[in-house]
Chains A and B, each alone.
Chain A
């Protein structure tokens, strides 16, 4: 059981973003979706958690078709999915502890002491222990992203979806986040989907890599297969040579 996008179409007004995008995320792997900025990667990711509904095609999570799920069951399903937002999307008016504990309070069944302990553990996992009383405005960009990851793992999800986790970060912080993604898989055993346009990060953290191009899947394979590809569009993207991509248009 895992996440499947089956021939998904999505348009916003006249702008077609996804035009028959298909993808299967296998249990336990980290799948990276590469693509140019504005290619619809984030839109595809939001379909996996039901934030967007496909115009055509279906999205399946653990064998359940999202389109057919009643709201309550969709919320139940989301409890098993952690989502790391591109700009962290932390609640400004709350401290880090409150942000990280937010999902746990919704799940219920945990005492305040247990929540506090779990929050502390999650902040420690992302090396932010001791900063729980701070507000998001008091953090650097990298710390905010790490808090976003701590919040996403707090409910011990089966899946972790990362939306551009290293965009806008300096090389050192980027490396820290990449290592964190690898640790999440190794230590927590989560199935991950990472959206990025950073080829180096993709090859480091991904077991498999897909490339989204003009609303469809252009490539799917291992990092080694990506590097060896002869597809001019994929090659042009990973080598930063737009002329190769243009020749095929």
Chain B
């Protein structure tokens, strides 16, 4: 009877312990990865390739999402403001929301699916087929060869992709305002620039950089520690996407509290 009553608390305690140990192991993994950066000869020549795979190849999905987000933001702003607030505030809402929130977060979430899952599946498959061991036997430090270039590419390319996405989202919001809301370019630009501060760009870049670090390092962590066969790879991939999506949302709130 007592056991039954305590069961939920036991479950919560176990989950908390599991979370804490998971964060600890990820921290050790991240520390080892930082130390592996001394092998510049190993990761240096792989960085460009990873920047292309993680960054350039992610541009279409990021732009697709931001285009439609910009359209919806403009239409919803107009729907909300009509008759109450001057229409140039559509530009304010599209600009501020794309830059501070939806641009980085939606891009981060989309890329956690595309990039994080890809990394976890690739490294997981390499682990279960002994390709990681093969690297070690050929004297390649696996963290320097597999993890460092991916994480560095994520840190470099996420902000670039995010800034592009924000730009396209604003442009699509502007075109929507012109075509569907009978607004002029001058009106939209007035709103767009009204509350703009250069720090907004810095804020976007900081968020996107942290999302790049999280998505790639979590993908690498779960992929690198994959056990078992195909089922293990599937599990790692799912865990990588779920964990990085959750951390992105937590970080999103964290940066808002700390920087705004």
Asked if B136 CB lies within 8 Å of chain A CBs, one says yes
Q: Report Cα–Cα, A51/B127, bound state, in Å.
A: 13
Which B residues are in CB contact (< 8 Å) with A46?
133
Which A residues between 72 and 123 are near B, CB-CB below 8 angstroms? 75-76, 78-79, 81-83, 85-87, 89-92, 102-103, 106-107
Contact of B131 with A89 in the complex, beta carbons under 8 Å? yes
Contact of B141 with A103 in the complex, beta carbons under 8 Å? no
Out of B130, B138, B139, B140, which one reaches A87, CB within 8 Å? B130
Interface residues in A, total, Cβ within 8 A: 25
Q: Report Cα–Cα, A35/B140, bound state, in Å.
A: 31
Out of B133, B140, B141, which one reaches A85, CB within 8 Å? B133
Which B residues are in CB contact (< 8 Å) with A92?
125, 131
Say whether, besides A86-B130, A87-B129, A89-B131, A49 and B141 are in contact (CB < 8 Å): no
Which B residues are in CB contact (< 8 Å) with A81?
137
Which A residues are in CB contact (< 8 Å) with B125?
92
Out of A50, A76, A86, A102, which one reaches B138, CB within 8 Å? A102
Contact of A71 with B141 in the complex, beta carbons under 8 Å? yes
Which A residues are in CB contact (< 8 Å) with B129?
87, 89
Name the residue in B137, B140, B141 with the highest tally of chain A Cβ atoms < 10 Å from its Cβ: B137
Chain B residue at smallest Cβ distance from A152: B137
Which A residues are in CB contact (< 8 Å) with B17?
none
Q: Report Cα–Cα, A87/B131, bound state, in Å.
A: 10
Q: Report Cα–Cα, A170/B242, bound state, in Å.
A: 44
Contact of A51 with B138 in the complex, beta carbons under 8 Å? no
Distance in angstroms from A45 CB to nearest chain B CB is 11
Contact of B139 with A83 in the complex, beta carbons under 8 Å? no
Which A residues are in CB contact (< 8 Å) with B137?
49, 51, 78, 81-83
Which B residues between 109 and 157 are near A, CB-CB below 8 angstroms? 125, 129-131, 133-134, 136-141
Chain A residue at smallest Cβ distance from B130: A89
Say whether, besides A87-B129, A89-B131, A79 and B139 are in contact (CB < 8 Å): yes
Say whether, besides A87-B129, A89-B129, A76 and B139 are in contact (CB < 8 Å): yes
Distance in angstroms from A122 CB to nearest chain B CB is 14
Chain B residue at smallest Cβ distance from A93: B122
Q: Report Cα–Cα, A86/B131, bound state, in Å.
A: 11
Distance in angstroms from A125 CB to nearest chain B CB is 18
Which A residues between 142 and 157 are near B, CB-CB below 8 angstroms? 151, 155
Q: Report Cα–Cα, A151/B140, bound state, in Å.
A: 14
Out of B42, B133, B141, which one reaches A89, CB within 8 Å? B133
Contact of A106 with B138 in the complex, beta carbons under 8 Å? yes
Contact of A106 with B139 in the complex, beta carbons under 8 Å? yes
Contact of B130 with A78 in the complex, beta carbons under 8 Å? no
Which B residues between 9 and 54 are near A, CB-CB below 8 angstroms? 42
Which B residues are in CB contact (< 8 Å) with A49?
136-137
Q: Report Cα–Cα, A75/B135, bound state, in Å.
A: 11
23 A–B pairs (Cβ distance < 8 Å), ordered by A: A46-B133, A49-B136, A49-B137, A51-B137, A71-B141, A75-B141, A78-B136, A78-B137, A79-B139, A81-B137, A82-B137, A83-B133, A85-B134, A86-B130, A87-B129, A87-B130, A89-B134, A90-B131, A90-B134, A91-B131, A103-B139, A106-B139, A151-B138
7 other contacts beyond A75-B139, A79-B139, A102-B138, with CB at 8 A cut-off?
A78-B139, A81-B137, A85-B130, A89-B129, A89-B133, A106-B138, A151-B138
Q: What residues of chain B have their CB less than 8 Å away from a CB belonging to chain A? A: 42, 125, 129-131, 133-134, 136-141
